[in-house]
Structure formats: structure tokens, C-alpha cells
Chain A
Amino acid sequence: MAKLSMTVNGRAVSGEATGNRLLVEFLREDLRMTGTHVGCDTSQCGACVVHVNGKAVKSCTMMAAEADGAEITTIEGIAEPDGTLSRVQQAFQDYHGLQCGFCTPGMVMTATKLLEQNPSPTEAEIRHHLEGNICRCTGYHNIVKAIMAASGQDVSKIAAE
């Protein structure tokens, strides 16, 4: 076991982990922060995306020990402390960007980073950026629409009916 400490959603946390502990296991099982989901556990689906030192990463494909000393943001840290949803979260609600909601934490974390890097993405750029986030319910259309709306763009022209 090795000692780990990191900052998660602005809060200093510490714990112990074996060398083979995954970051997502540390978050969900040790810190009991279960907002980050495990959809595939094979690095394909993106349900587990969190931000590590400002970068979106798949927390099922990073060792916990690798995040020692890192600044981490999870879906639990995206809304305001008073519960006000972020722009992206609110748009997902407004535009029905989720059905079962399983993929949503990863979608929101990925989309949040996209809009930081590219404040007015085109529809094609949004779809390209979401390549690592799989949704089994929505058909993606309303997710793309929600991200367009969160960026303050007109959503009436988005492709599919």
C-alpha cells in the first residue's frame, strides 16, 4: 500500500492504494464519490471521464497512484456549491440530453472541456470531440444540441429531425 493525496473538487483528500488500484476505484470506492460511472472498463465508453490537472481523462484507464498530488474535478464538482447547475448541465436538462443518464457524467465532463478550448464549436467539431463518449439511449442528437445551446449558439439548424 502507498499513501496518496490529491485535491478532489477543491478538497484535499488522502488515502492508501495498492499499485494496481485504478483512479476510478479510488474515487468511487474509497472516496465514495459515485457520480463518476464505469460503463465498459475497457477504455471505450467515456462514462468515467474526469479532469486531472485540467485534462479530460478516462479514470478507468489511469492508475490511482499516477494521480498522486493531482488536482481532480469530478462530476460532483461541476455545479455551484449551492447546487446551481453549470451551463452544460443545465443545457442537458433543457434539451433532454439524457435518457437513462448513465453516460451523462462523462458527457458533461468531456463537453465542459470542449467549450473551454473551443467556445463556439460547430456541430461537426462537437461530434468529433465526443468520439470517446458512447451513449446507448439518446442517439446523440440531443446531446449535441445541448452542447450547442450551452455554447450560446442557435440550435434550430442542427441536422437530424
Chain B
Amino acid sequence: MYAFDFEKPTTVADAVAALADDEAQPLSGGQTLIPTLKQRLAMPSKLVSLTGIPEMQGVCKNDAGEVCIGGATPHAVVAAEAAAHYPALAALASNIGDPAVRNRGTIGGSVANNDPAACYPSAVLASGATVVTNNREIAADDYFDGLFMTALEEGEIITEVRFPVPQAANYQKFVQPASRFALVGVFVAKFADGVRVAVTGASNDGVFRWTEAEEALSANFSPDAINGLTVDAGDMIGDLHGTPEYRAHLVGVMTKRAVAAAS
């Protein structure tokens, strides 16, 4: 790692101030950023830890019935504390990486990073969640912007993610066993006004909504509704773990499984 300073503020305001310095970068659970620093792929002058800020911790339900998760809440806490409010989201969190990764890694870090194979982005997009930052609220549909790209500005911090709770939902992840990320992951969420389907792991453009499946499932919420629907393999990732055609096929399979399991 290159040399950098370390700061650990206790309020969002102090964190934002600390991040105003040139080349300062937020550090949350570090489960992505520390490996990146070790490879010398980033050269911050200073890391600003977000893990000591009480207002960015925990899971609660607001008056609108949304599940609100503090930006620095570790996956293990979401797995435990969101279970009563939004079981599909808690189940997703409980299958990220391994127990030690879940004890450090956070929702804000995952959503800020927007890895094309990460789990949370699919839940955020399928739920139509709101990404709350230190200065605005961003709708999920406006937030994700391709591989590792998001609507976040320099120095902007995710303080909370707010999830509307669907009537039924499920996440199915086809695990890439070496990394434990999703080779393909599909999150299906059924709301009173329609179904949303978000796919991670598969596309060269990162997480995306599979609108054809959404229309079919909104008319008939059953696995059979997906029969005959396909995603274009031309847009899918091809690497040593799977060809684009394989991933395109898995999108259909995982969507069916998610619908079958949705509760």
C-alpha cells in the first residue's frame, strides 16, 4: 500500500468535511477497498473511516413503512435485524461472502462500489429503493450507471438506503465459488402495482432491470410466465467462469427460481 493518513470522525458532517481534502477517500468495511489498496490500484492521501458514526448504523422502519439501513451497517447486522421486516433482503445479506466479510462489509460500501457481480445492487434496484446521501436522495433507477459507476459525486457519502417492502420477494444467486460473488444473481420483488426484476453478475453494463420479465410477471406471477423469454447474450459478460450464452441462460433460470421461492 502507498502511504496515507487515517481519520475516524463520529458525525456525517465531520466526515464530509474530512473528505473535502484532495484525494481523501471514504473507508467503510474495507472488504473491497483494502484489497484494492494492497494492489496499489488506489492512492488516497487519507482514508476517512465511516464506521464510527452512530447515525450511519442500524436497521429501522420509518413511518412510510420503508426499511431504512444506515450506510455503514455491516451485512451481518442486516441479515439479523432486517429479517423480521424484509426477509428476502436479510437472506441476501446472509449469503454475501463469508462470516468475516459480513462482519465488516457494509451496504453503503457495496452500493457505492457497484461491482457488476455484487448482490446488494440487485436488491436496491428491484425494490426501487432510495439511496440517501449527505445532501440528497437518489432513486435506484437514477443511481446505477454501469460498471463500478454511480450517480455519487466526489466526496458524497451514502448515509442510508431506504427499501420499500414488497408483498413478495426473493433473491437467487448462482455463486461463483472462488469469489463467492454472483455469477448471476436475480432479485424479484412483487409490489401491488407490479413486479420488478433486477439482474446482477451478468451484464457488461452492471446491474439492470429485465423489463420483459417484469411485464410478464406483473400479468402472471408464476415461473411459467418466463417461458420463452430470453436476454440478449450479446450484452452479457464472458470470462473464464462462463460464456455470455451461459450467463444469459442463467438469468432465465434464476428468475424462475426466484419467482418460485418468493414469499
Contacts and interface: CB of A to CB of B under 8 A. Distances in A.
A28 interface: no
Nearest to A41: B38
A18 interface: yes
A37 interface: no
B4 A56 contact: no
Interface stretch (B99-107, B112-120, B182-190, B223-231): B99-107
Interface in A37-56: 41-43, 46, 49, 55-56
A61 B47 contact: no
A56 B6 contact: no
Interface residues of A, number: 28
A15 to B, nearest CB: 14
**Which range holds the interface residue count of chain B?**
20 to 34
A63 interface: yes
Interface stretch (B26-34, B208-216, B235-243): B26-34
A20 B3 contact: yes
Given A19-B5, A66-B49, A57 B100 contact: yes
A62 interface: yes
B8 A66 contact: yes
A131 interface: yes
Interface string B91-127: 0000001111101100000000000000000000000
B35 interface: yes
Interface in B60-111: 76, 97-101, 103-104
A35 interface: no
A115 B98 CA distance: 16
Contacts of B38: 41-42
Contacts of A65: 6, 8, 49
Contacts of A43: 31, 34-35, 101
A87 interface: no
A50 to B, nearest CB: 9
Interface string A109-122: 01001100000000
Interface of B: 1-6, 8, 27, 30-31, 34-35, 37-38, 46-47, 49, 51, 76, 97-101, 103-104, 180
Given A19-B47, A65-B6, 10 more contacts: A2-B6, A19-B46, A20-B2, A42-B38, A56-B100, A58-B104, A66-B8, A66-B49, A114-B99, A131-B99
